[in-house]
């Protein structure tokens, strides 16, 4: 059935940025389809949205699974009959020198952080063209800046920024707008859920945003889409230094990484 509201599909919506985005978009008037692997968490978010008078449903699935993107795109169409906003948020990180990252972890990050949003975007494009909708890809400051011991994670996020830039040009005549949002550190489950060596978020020494702050940025970008959005001054300053004083930035990045990830250079990872 065709929804009378605009419809948003949000991936990785069981916690953190994804959940905050789903709640914020529902308050903005969107009907929201939430997806992630944890059905119980999704059901809780949907119940919260409905209690506040919003419209939401959920689909529990593993986006890295074969055929998941096509099935999810068909699910959106069968439930709502339209799609106006796709938020590609699902992702995972692993803190380790590249030499010690297991092959299966490399493949997992690439599948979830990059292949999944590419395939889901591809499957959703026909509906987004009909609505002249928007794609918001949640990348990372690590996709704009060198990030020691998060090399694979950063590579997937840099590729997501590149995908957004190319797709923005491809879809211009179709009316589909494409945005990359590149947060710095965010208080969420990310650091706890990441694999490899622990990250001491309390030692970061820079502004740590909340998931709700990023959710509000997503809403603003849905209203008036930009291009590549660095959400903090630290990411913007890092981008400037990396471009115009790369040697200085490399030293700063290494010292900062050793401060917040001191165990990473020990012989064995802690988890």
Question: 3-class SS at 61?
Answer: coil
Q: Which of 30, 94, 150, 153 is catalytic?
A: 153
Q: Rounded CA gap, 69 and 63, in Å?
A: 6
Residue 65 DSSP one-character state: S
Task: Tell me if residue 30 is catalytic.
Answer: no
CA distance 211 to 45: 14
> Phi/psi of residue 236, each to 5°?
-65, -45
- CA-closest candidate to residue 178, choices 138, 232, 119: 138
CB 21 within 8 A of CB 183: no
Place of tokens 């012989």: 267
223: nearest Cα among 85, 126, 55: 85
Q: Pull the structure tokens for residue 58.
A: 């959920």
- Catalytic residue numbers? 153
């Amino acid at each position: 059935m065709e929804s009378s509201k605009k419809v948003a599909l949000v991936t990785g919506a069981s916690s953190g940025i994804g959940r905050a985005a789903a709640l914020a978009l529902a308050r903005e008037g969107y009907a929201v389809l939430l997806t992630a692997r944890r059905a119980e968490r999704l059901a809780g978010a949907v119940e919260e949205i409905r209690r506040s008078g919003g419209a939401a449903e959920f689909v529990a699935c593993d986006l890295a699974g074969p055929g998941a993107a096509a099935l999810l795109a068909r699910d959106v169409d069968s439930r709502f009959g339209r799609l106006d906003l796709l938020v590609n948020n699902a992702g995972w990180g692993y803190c380790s020198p590249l030499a010690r990252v297991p092959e299966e972890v490399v493949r997992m990050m690439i599948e979830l952080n990059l292949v999944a949003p590419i395939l889901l975007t591809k499957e959703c494009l026909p509906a987004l063209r009909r609505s002249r909708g928007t794609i918001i890809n949640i990348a990372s400051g690590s996709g704009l800046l060198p990030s020691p011991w998060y090399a694979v994670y950063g590579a997937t996020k840099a590729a997501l920024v590149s995908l957004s830039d190319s797709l923005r040009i491809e879809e211009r005549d179709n009316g589909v707008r494409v945005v990359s949002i590149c947060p710095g550190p965010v208080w969420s489950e990310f650091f706890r859920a990441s694999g490899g060596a622990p990250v001491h978020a309390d030692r970061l020494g820079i502004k740590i945003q909340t998931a709700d702050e990023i959710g509000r940025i997503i809403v603003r970008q849905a209203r008036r889409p930009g291009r590549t959005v660095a959400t903090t001054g630290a990411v913007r300053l890092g981008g400037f230094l990396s471009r115009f004083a790369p040697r200085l930035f490399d030293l700063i990045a290494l010292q900062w990484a050793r401060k917040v990830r001191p165990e990473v250079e020990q012989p064995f990872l802690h988890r």
